[in-house]
């Protein structure tokens, strides 16, 4: 992403360097007079973006490079992956265990061992003798399937995909016309030239068999291009829409164009259903076609926290749907590391656990009863937060704002944001402050930005504009809710396809004002682009102890029929809903069990024990005005 944001002298600006050659940036670390950027070749084509805030610069940058379409709702649930789950009996067992253990999940991911000798668009008939039956069984249990799609096509006459690729002349070539060969999982391979419209169109049609089986998730890997033992030759020819260029120009957009082709093809084949698409490689604008994960990380604390910062950075460059392999891909995790990583990842945009071959299992139940309970708690919390998180994805699609937000977006000119002690902290949307801690860290020094902040677990209120020490035991990731916020939530469920009739509004009282746009649609199709969606503006006026929920706008009819209202931090003894008095009741449960005995929680509906009251009203009422005293 050749884009950066400069902040100094109380001002901010952005520079997007629109050049796909190898680029370099000097940010002035060794010379405080100036910063600079350049590239090995190509045009000196760049955009200087002026704005009054970092959020305005992100908005303008995504005006240039594009914004994401809404992903399917299931894809922002929990995804379970391993390199690899096979044979099919193991997949059945994984799916069954999630449901039996009451751990929500929406997707099981198939790595390369589902293929016949790693050949793309094939199935290993011994390991997976009935892929269509497997997909149907998963669907019946509420699971979606995501399959690995590598670009390397094995050089093997008689292999249909190879023969069709040669016939259609879609592979990368040397200047003398010979197809380039590189070694990867299947052996010697050719690689489609995704800068060629003919190759993209050909690749897009190849997903028909997957779609016929019921697959609607696709994972673009190894698309840097990765090959064994050598770098990509610089003299390879890329088509570039008929304007031929070498690898020096084409390398950095190869993964981008592959993801584009996969997304455009599967979107067409799914006939109105949204595909999920994930890529390891991309370029500025990749958010239009794919989610991005950070690649093969290692199972230790440094990579866990590095993943957090990478996702923060990708959010600043327009990529709202981003994440990492929770638990670590390479090497062996341990109970504390896995528990901490899963708790952090539950509050990231893309939530997937993944580990490599010949390592210990890394499912939520693989590390003992204590870790299983911690994982269940945080996965359930994510599913309860889905109305909030899904609305953040709508904001990303409309304005380009990231789901996971660097503190530099909202607190740009507070120098403490840039202190290395706090550079792992971030906001999930406008209201949830997450302070990641290392797995063995029992105490954590954190920075509270301006405002007041509720402890997620106890309800304790912390004053902002201070640095302080908080406890961070393994079962309690430091998480805080901004006073003056309203969090739309729901009950947890086994998967996102479960219809819910009750919206839960958690109101965090304080002398602040805020607004939040609650967004709803069917979560599956592109009908929202023709108006079949709904929004409700939720406005909090903390000075007047009042929340106003606007009338629903749009043609989508929600499954919600009632609202549960939960007040945090208010000693109120009565509440008015559209002028009518309703009784408030104490709620005695905390959101999370303290886990002293590592007991799983059974769907409590409230977060915090101090001054928590609740009542209910109808969701179907048009405008709703709440006040309390």
Catalytically active residues, by annotation: 221, 224, 296
Q: What are phi and psi of 112, to 5 degrees?
A: -65, -15
Q: Which residues of 133-144 are buried (b: 16+ CB within 10 A; e: fewer)?
A: ebbebbeebbbb
**Location of structure tokens 């929920």:** 549
Confirm if 281 and 251 have CB atoms less than 8 A apart.
no
Number of other residues whose CB lies within 10 A of the CB of residue 623: 11
Could you give the count of Cα atoms lying within 13 Å of 535 in the half-sphere of its Cβ? 12
* Phi-psi region at 28: left, alpha or beta (left = phi > 0; alpha = psi -120 to 50): left
Instruction: Please give the structure tokens belonging to residue 167.
Output: 């016939």
> Which residue in 240, 170, 252, 166 sits closest to 204, CA to CA?
170
CA dist 459 and 53 (Å) reads 32
Q: How far apart are the first and last CA of the chain?
A: 50
The residues, ordered by sequence, that sit 6+ positions from 169 with a Cβ below 8 Å of its Cβ are 198
- For the sheet containing 153-154, what is the strand order? 153-154, 187-190, 182-184
- Kind and range of the H or E run holding 397: helix 386-399
Q: At what angle do helices 369-384 and 335-345 cross, to 10 degrees?
A: 0
Number of other residues whose CB lies within 10 A of the CB of residue 440: 12
Confirm if 204 and 131 have CB atoms less than 8 A apart.
no
The CA distances from residue 575 to 537, 547, 591, in Å, are 20, 11, 23
H runs (alpha helix) in 158-246: 160-168, 197-205, 208-213
Q: What is the DSSP letter of 368?
A: -
Number of other residues whose CB lies within 10 A of the CB of residue 508: 29
Instruction: Please give the full DSSP string across 300-319, using - where no structure is assigned.
Output: SHHHHHHHHHHHHHHHHTT-
Q: What is the DSSP letter of 230?
A: S
Confirm if 218 and 146 have CB atoms less than 8 A apart.
yes
The three-point CA angle 53-57-62 to 5° equals: 145
Torsion angle of alpha carbons 283, 289, 291, 294, nearest 10°?
-20
> Which residue in 345, 207, 225 sits closest to 281, CA to CA?
225
Confirm if 417 and 447 have CB atoms less than 8 A apart.
yes
């Amino acid at each position: 992403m050749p884009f950066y944001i400069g902040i100094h002298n109380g001002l901010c600006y952005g520079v997007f360097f629109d050049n796909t050659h190898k680029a370099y940036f000097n940010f002035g670390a060794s010379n405080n007079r100036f910063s600079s950027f350049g590239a090995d070749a190509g045009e000196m084509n760049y955009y200087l973006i002026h704005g009054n805030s970092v959020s305005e610069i992100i908005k303008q940058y995504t005006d240039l490079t594009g914004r994401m379409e809404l992903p399917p709702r299931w894809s922002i649930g929990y995804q379970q992956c391993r390199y690899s789950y096979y044979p099919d009996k193991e997949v059945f067992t994984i799916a069954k265990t999630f449901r039996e253990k009451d751990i929500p999940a929406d997707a099981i991911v198939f790595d390369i061992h589902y293929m016949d000798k790693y050949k793309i668009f094939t199935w290993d008939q011994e390991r997976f003798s009935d892929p269509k039956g497997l997909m149907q069984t998963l669907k019946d249990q509420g699971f979606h399937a995501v399959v690995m799609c590598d670009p390397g096509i094995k050089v093997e006459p008689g292999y249909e995909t190879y023969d069709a690729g040669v016939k259609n002349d879609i592979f990368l070539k040397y200047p003398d016309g010979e197809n380039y060969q590189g070694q990867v999982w299947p052996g010697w391979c050719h690689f489609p030239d995704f800068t060629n419209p003919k190759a993209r169109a050909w690749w897009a049609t190849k997903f028909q068999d997957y779609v016929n089986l019921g697959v609607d998730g696709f994972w673009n890997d190894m698309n840097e291009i990765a090959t064994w033992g050598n770098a990509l030759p610089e003299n390879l020819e890329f088509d570039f829409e008929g304007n031929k260029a070498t690898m020096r120009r084409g390398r950095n957009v190869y993964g981008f164009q592959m993801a584009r082709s996969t997304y455009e093809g599967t979107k067409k084949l799914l006939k109105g259903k949204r595909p999920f698409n994930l890529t390891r490689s991309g370029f500025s604008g990749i958010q239009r076609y794919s989610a991005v994960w950070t690649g093969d990380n290692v199972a230790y604390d440094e990579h866990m926290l590095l993943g957090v910062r990478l996702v923060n950075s990708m959010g600043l460059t327009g990529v709202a749907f981003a994440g990492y392999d929770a638990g670590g891909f390479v090497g062996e995790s341990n109970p504390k590391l896995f528990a901490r990583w899963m708790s952090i990842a539950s509050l990231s945009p893309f939530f997937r656990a993944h580990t490599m071959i010949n390592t210990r299992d890394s499912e939520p139940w693989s590390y003992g009863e204590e870790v299983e309970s911690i994982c269940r708690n945080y996965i359930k919390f994510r599913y309860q937060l889905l109305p909030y998180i899904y609305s953040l994805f709508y904001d990303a699609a409309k304005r380009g704002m990231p789901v996971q937000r660097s503190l530099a977006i909202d607190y740009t000119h507070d120098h403490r944001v840039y202190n290395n002690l706090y550079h792992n902290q971030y906001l999930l949307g406008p209201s949830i402050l997450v302070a990641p801690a290392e797995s063995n860290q029992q105490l954590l020094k954190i920075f509270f930005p301006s405002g007041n902040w509720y402890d997620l677990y106890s309800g304790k209120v912390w004053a902002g504009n201070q640095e302080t020490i908080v406890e961070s035991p393994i079962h309690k990731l430091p998480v805080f809710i901004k006073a003056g916020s309203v969090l739309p939530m729901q009950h947890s469920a086994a998967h996102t396809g479960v219809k819910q009739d009750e919206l839960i509004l958690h109101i965090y009282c304080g002398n602040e004002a805020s607004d939040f746009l609650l967004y709803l649609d069917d979560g599956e199709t592109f009908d929202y682009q023709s108006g079949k969606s709904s929004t409700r503006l939720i406005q909090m006026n903390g000075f007047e102890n009042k929340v106003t929920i606007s009338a629903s706008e749009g043609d989508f009819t929600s499954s919600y029929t009632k609202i549960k209202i939960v007040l945090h931090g208010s000693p109120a003894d009565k509440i008015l809903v559209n002028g009518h008095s309703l009784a408030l009741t104490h709620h005695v449960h905390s959101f999370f069990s303290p886990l002293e005995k590592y007991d799983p929680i059974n769907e409590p509906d409230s977060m915090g024990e101090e001054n928590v009251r609740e009542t209910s009203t109808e969701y179907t009422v048009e405008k709703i005005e709440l006040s309390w005293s």
